[in-house]
Each structure stands twice: as structure tokens, then as C-alpha cells.
Amino acid sequence: MLHTLSIVYYYYYCYSSTFAILATLTVLTILAVLTILAVLIILAASAVLIILAVLVILATSAVLTILAVLVVLAASAVLTILAVLVVLATSAILSTLTTLTILAVPAVLAIAIINLIVNSLAIRLFLALPLLLLLSL
């Protein structure tokens, strides 16, 4: 059975330009679908990461701000100084998280652009394949 299929494949591959065009179009369709899926996955992942980072920053700032206000209201001068230090540390942490979030966006975009370039080069190669097959007939 396998031998018969290989003979049929060989016949259509060697003697039918229609088969070569259909095979190439099938490969191009699969590559296009995979490219679209890859872009959607990258965009979804970057959106989820950005939303999570923003939520972590907002939750951290809200909790630490409430704690700092309670400490300032209930404490003596020493605790007031400690509360100021906590607020400064919180702002340093938040600015670091904000910087990391800002740096994550171009990195995700760069990965998406590289992926699109690589996939477009692969598609160009497969677009040239039918022409090469027709020239070889």
C-alpha cells in the first residue's frame, strides 16, 4: 500500500504541476495559520503580563500606602521616621517595577517583529517554490 502511494506521489510530483501548486498552497496555508497563531499568542502573552504587572503595582501601592498611613497615625516620632522609610522603600520598589514593565513592552514587541520577519522570509521561500518547480518541468 505504501509503495503504491509513493508511486502515485512520484507520478503526481514529477508529471503534474497542479499537484506541486496544490502542495505549495497547502504548505503556505499551514504557515500562514501558524504565523497568525504565533502573533496572537505573543500579543496575548504580552497583554497578560502587562495587566498582571499593573495589578501587582496597584495592589502593592494600595496595601503599603494604607499600612504607612496607619503607622504614621498610631506611632510616635520614631515610628513616623520608620513610616517615611517604608514609603521611600515602597516608591523605590514601585519605580523598579514600573521600569521593568516599561522594558518588557519593547522586548515583547521585538520578539513579535523578529518572529514576523522570520516567518515572512519562510513564506517568501515557499512562494518561490512553485516557480522553481514550474521551471524544472
In this predicted model, what pLDDT tens digit does every residue of 47-93 receive, in sequence order? 777 888 888 887 777 777 887 777 667 656 666 777 778 888 877 77
Cβ atoms of residues 116 and 35 within 8 Å: yes
Tell me which of 126 and 29 has the higher pLDDT. Answer: 29
Torsion angles phi and psi, residue 84, rounded to 5: -60, -40
Give me the pLDDT at residue 31, please. Answer: 81
For residue 107, the one-letter residue type is A
Contact status, residue 111 vs residue 27, Cβ threshold 8 Å = no
pLDDT score, position 19: 66
Q: What total of structural domains would you count in the chain?
A: 1
SS3 content of the chain, % helix, strand, coil (to 5): 95, 0, 5
Task: Note the pLDDT of residue 35.
Answer: 85
Nearest Cα residue to 83 out of 95, 93, 69? 69
Does 1 have pLDDT greater than 50?
no
Q: Measured between alpha carbons, how far is 117 from 130 in angstroms, rounded to an integer?
A: 21
Domain span at residue 79 reads 2-136
